Structure 1
Amino acid sequence: MARFNLKKALIAGFIAGVAAFVIGSLLYMNPLISGIYEEHGDWPGLRPMDSLGGGLAGWMALMLAGGIVSTMIVAVFYAYVEKAIQIDTVWKKGAVFGVFLWLVSTLPNAYYTWLMYTYPVALNLIEVFNGFVGAIVAGIVIAVVYDRRKG
């Protein structure tokens, strides 16, 4: 069984979660994208941000928390398989891991969303692109932080 440092993986995942949240927020809040989301704001399948209490700040806190938990889990998986990714440059190894992550999570999720729901196609495509960027950022951050914290 592969040996890895759980604490270092969790730290890498935490940092990656924060980084992906910041990048994701910038991507979703840019004027081109936010306008498209505003067009579909009354779509019946979208939960209003204030429906969970706390308004936008509460919703953002929940998004951040969920993202951090997710990237911590992903970072543990990365720590377990990182030696199998035969790339010498750490950030490139992370980018490849990020693409893999996107292929097994974001892309299938978008496909099933398209297949099963009337979710607006424009929003689904935006999420595919933003998910790609976020997965690569998370993969790179996980790889770099985990590598620097190995010891």
Structure 2
Amino acid sequence: MTFFADSTLVEDLLIEARADGIAQFVVGAMITDEQEQVLLLKRRADDFLGGLWELPGGGVEHGEQLEDALCREVTEETGLTITGVTGYLGTFDYESDNGMKTRQFTFAVTVEQTKPIVLTEHDESAWTDRRTLPAVSDETRALLTR
């Protein structure tokens, strides 16, 4: 399945990340509903960065393509199915709970349906206006309020 219109963009992003010494990759998906609200998921209190709200997404497995990880993670965390990637929103770096230098690549995506949300790894989900975001990381806030 190929959703990225510009395959060189992804290749360039990965080359740059490796050159920057990034050891681990993560993908994030900005999903919006009919009212242009963004889907956010609340991390479990006992999890890394517990209690923060975040975009659906997660780790890219060894040998996995970014778009495959994006589709897999969104389905695993929400039960939703990605139908397309409509844009690249940017990246941010952080140190993961295992101490690895990590880069999140974030994309705007479309999904087959926006309901129902089936949570498997988070406490709550919410459709949120980008101007009134709940407790999200500064990096996520910057991506969503551009």
Asked if these proteins are the same fold (TM beyond 0.5), I'd say no
TM-score bracket for the superposition, by shorter chain length: under 0.3
Bigger strand share: 2
- Structure number with higher relative contact order (C-alpha < 8 Å, ≥ 6 residues apart): 1
TM-score, scaled relative to structure 2: 0.26
- The structure with more radius of gyration: 1
- Under a length normalisation based on structure 1, what TM-score does the superposition of the two structures give? 0.26
